[in-house]
Chain A
Amino acid sequence: MNRSLAVRGGRVLDPGRGLDTIADVLVEGGRIAAVGPDLAAGADSVVEAEGLVVCPGFVDIHCHLRDPGFEHKETIETGTRAAARGGFTTICCMPNTEPPIDSRATVEYVLRTAAAVGLVRVLPIGCVSRGRHGETLAELGDLAEANAVAFSDDGSPVADGALMRRALEYSQALVLPVIDHCEQPSLAKEGVMHEGWVATRLGLAGQPAAAEEAAVARDIALAEFTGSHVHIAHISTRGSVDLVRAAKARGVRVTAEVTPHHLTLTHEAVAFSPGDNEALTYDTNAKVNPPLRTREDVEACLEGLLDGTIDAIATDHAPHAIEDKECEFDQAAFGISNLETALGALLTLVPGGRLDLPTLVAKLTAGPVTALGLDRRPGLDGLGSLAPGAPADVVVFDPQREWVVEPERFASKGRNTPLAGRTLRGQVVATVYGGRVVYTVETAGIGTM
């Protein structure tokens, strides 16, 4: 397919290459051809982007597609459709499926299914341990050959220190990182939210920040010891950010990601609806692991994002069926469905000046790609940027467009978001993957998102 497509007249933001200018983007044959003025004439199709922002397709290095095994929560099809609507053209899916992604066969299933749907690029993450049981190593070499891009046991931590050490040693040879969900089980115990005044108020068991920090400290020590690359998943506390900052200063090969909700919501979201009177809500849609933390923690994560301690924003998209959330708080599943709200939620940080747009885009594109070294993979040269030859993944969004979050209209099967009913400003208008338009707001068939 040598069809060409031009995105005309938008503000082109390619922070990885220091680009911020009004220009056209021309793609051809599934690759970026050029970025510059007046490239649209002669293109086979044109996407009008005047007044809009144009940047590399977002890359989400942490999400849950639930497929195989939990198709009532999400499938690769619905998940990738949600990704496209959210502006994500590459997503890395976690292996806590059933069966888990601990064998070549399951990796290939995911790749095959995603390719058949053909909406966005899916890069599977393989398990660290066989069956995700946390006891013995999975066949990491086989997984790597099958094109797993990293290893993780997420939803669960790699609790056993010795196993984590071996995983780090082994993966070093494969030049792939280990991603750890940092949570020390004995400290986190039955905590269903952050252990703070809100948990006390609500009468809920909490997990302290120390449960995450103890695990982060251990992983940093092991990474330092083995010289391997460890990536901290969904970092959430001030203490964790400080640990990573200090470790990076020492030259430890540690990277970190943060979720949109950990940058914008606090544990108060569990108890109180915004703008409501004082009625308590026990909002299970705000039940997530790691839990929403305090204002100080949110501030620290934002600082970490700005000073480079945190390399990437990753959604940790965790869709659930209604019955998994419409129940007592203690019984509800952990997770927020947020591929489709990530951009809008993050953009709330921009008007107040807490986050600038180029940094935001960087942390959704070049940042995650570099953190996991994805652009070193065959065929992914330039991923996360608009450099000529890079994959033709482009997202166009309107930073001013207001929309109301209506979960019933999500493409994702997961309606579980604490943002239901809120008005957000900033929405994806078009998503291009491999040179094809895979989503536009008009053709979504539902009017506004």
Chain B
Amino acid sequence: MSTSSRSSAARGTGAAVQERRTVRLPPALPSFWRRRHLLDLDDFSAEEIGLVMETADAMKEVLGRQIARVPTLRGTTIVTLFYENSTRTRTSFELAARVLGADVVSIAASASSVQKGESLVDTVLTLQAVGADMLVMRHRYSGAPYLAARHSHLKVVNAGDGWHAHPTQALLDLYTIRSHLGDLRDRKVVIVGDITHSRVARSNMWGLTAVGARVVVCGPPTLMPVGLGGANGQERGDLAPTGPARVSVCLPPVEVDLNLDRAIEGADVVMALRLQLERQQTGLIPSIREYVRLYQVTTERLARAKPGVLVLHPGPVNEGIEIPPEVAHGTRSLIEEQVTNGVAVRMAVLYLLAGGQT
């Protein structure tokens, strides 16, 4: 700009052009980020997901340094409380916390400690009393992290609760897909497998639809939960006349297609879920063989998808069941990338929650 701008900016005239803010505040988080916990992605907006993605970009750069360490969360105590075994997710969180400079305590609570009479609420209150700030929790029962959040002052990150949610997995899936495809609006993502028992599926359904992707879920009808694909603008009611009924999204707006050959057509991304042999009650599917025949993500089926289709799997892979070995190791597979991205995304989550918003 020329110096003629100086006259209009002369003091006191009030005619100064002020299209940019004149007060330069320290850069803060966008006002739409008001989160205390990360329990599920069901109430995330596209902007919030975008913020996590951008923050994960910065974290990924930190991880690429020779000394991958920052002092950001120094003085914060993060406890990982895993009631279910998981080397992969727990290590990912521990690493994320350590890179951020936090103190990490890991507790592998087994089912037996519950049998000994220590309730979840007792455990959480004890952790709070010994100085934990943040709790990363995995539990076999849906809703457990909500209980922990309700009964303590800790910030709770859900690392997987029963069949219900695994938000950091969905975020890292989104991050991985985004790094290859960019904007996900109107992209077709097919999630195939045991949807009923899959918290990864549920969280991904929320996350992907929030950013505008078109999601199709596919799997054996006996492993497809009630209500998906139906009327999702159902009215939510309340105790008779004491409150107005609010229409809101009850379930993520996905499509259901029980036929994988048809569902996979034109897909940009295929997400194969682990067939959870240990959670499955006997008799829900006739046999593994039949599952493989109908629902395995084979090379032939992938040929019906878009060229360059991305194949994801939350791991660990039952090779030969959900995906054949050649697909698992093939160039289209992003499975290993997902693991790497997991640390960056979890760092982003821990950082964004640490901010002290109440």
Contacts and interface: CB of A to CB of B under 8 A. Distances in A.
Interface of A: 189, 195-204, 206, 264-266, 268-269, 272, 274-275, 278-282, 295, 323, 326-331, 345, 348-349, 351-352, 354, 419, 422-423
A331 B236 contact: no
Contacts of A349: 240
A204 B248 contact: no
Contacts of A327: 119-121, 147
Contacts of B257: none
Contact of B243 (A198, A275, A295): A275
Interface string B254-295: 000000000000000000000000000100000000000000
- The B interface, classified by DSSP as helix, strand, loop or mixed, is loop
Contacts of B241: 348, 351-352
B173 interface: no
Contacts of B46: none
Given A204-B163, A282-B142, A328 B226 contact: no
Interface string B117-153: 0011100000000000000000101111011001100
B234 interface: yes
Given A201-B250, A274-B242, 16 more contacts: A189-B281, A200-B251, A202-B142, A202-B164, A203-B202, A268-B238, A274-B243, A275-B243, A280-B143, A326-B121, A326-B147, A328-B147, A329-B143, A330-B143, A331-B141, A419-B239
Nearest to B244: A275
A419 B238 CA distance: 11
A352 B240 contact: yes
B165 A203 contact: yes
B240 A295 contact: no
Contacts of B240: 264, 348-349, 352, 354
Interface string B162-174: 1111000000000
A326 B152 CA distance: 13
Contact of A282 (B42, B147, B163, B237): B147
A79 B234 CA distance: 39
12 contacts: A196-B227, A201-B227, A203-B143, A203-B202, A204-B142, A265-B239, A269-B239, A274-B242, A295-B237, A328-B144, A349-B240, A423-B242
Best-buried of A280, A331, A351 by chain B (most CB within 10 Å) = A280
Best-buried of A200, A275, A352 by chain B (most CB within 10 Å) = A200
A201 B162 contact: no
A201 B202 CA distance: 8
Nearest to B139: A328
Contacts of A295: 235, 237
Contacts of B143: 202-204, 280, 282, 328-330
Interface residues of B, number: 42
Contacts of B39: 280
A195 B226 CA distance: 7
B194 to A, nearest CB: 13
A197 B232 CA distance: 9
B43 interface: yes
Contact of A203 (B164, B236, B281): B164
Interface in B199-253: 199, 202, 225-228, 230, 234-243, 248, 250-251
A336 to B, nearest CB: 13
A410 B239 CA distance: 21
A422 B151 CA distance: 20
A135 B290 CA distance: 39
Contacts of B162: 203-204, 330
Contacts of A275: 238, 243
Contacts of A281: 146, 150
B40 A280 contact: yes
Given A204-B163, A327-B120, A422 B202 contact: no
Nearest to A331: B141
Contacts of B248: 278
A274 B238 contact: yes
B31 to A, nearest CB: 16
Given A195-B226, A201-B251, A280 B146 contact: yes
Contacts of A201: 42, 227, 250-251
Nearest to B147: A328
A278 B43 contact: yes
A330 B240 CA distance: 27
A264 B238 CA distance: 8
A26 to B, nearest CB: 36
B94 interface: no
B158 to A, nearest CB: 11
A344 to B, nearest CB: 11
Best-buried of B119, B120, B162, B239 by chain A (most CB within 10 Å) = B239
B161 interface: yes
A269 B161 CA distance: 20
> Across chains A and B, which 4 residue pairs bring their CB atoms closest together, nearest first?
A203-B164, A197-B227, A282-B143, A203-B163
B1 to A, nearest CB: 46
A195 B222 CA distance: 13
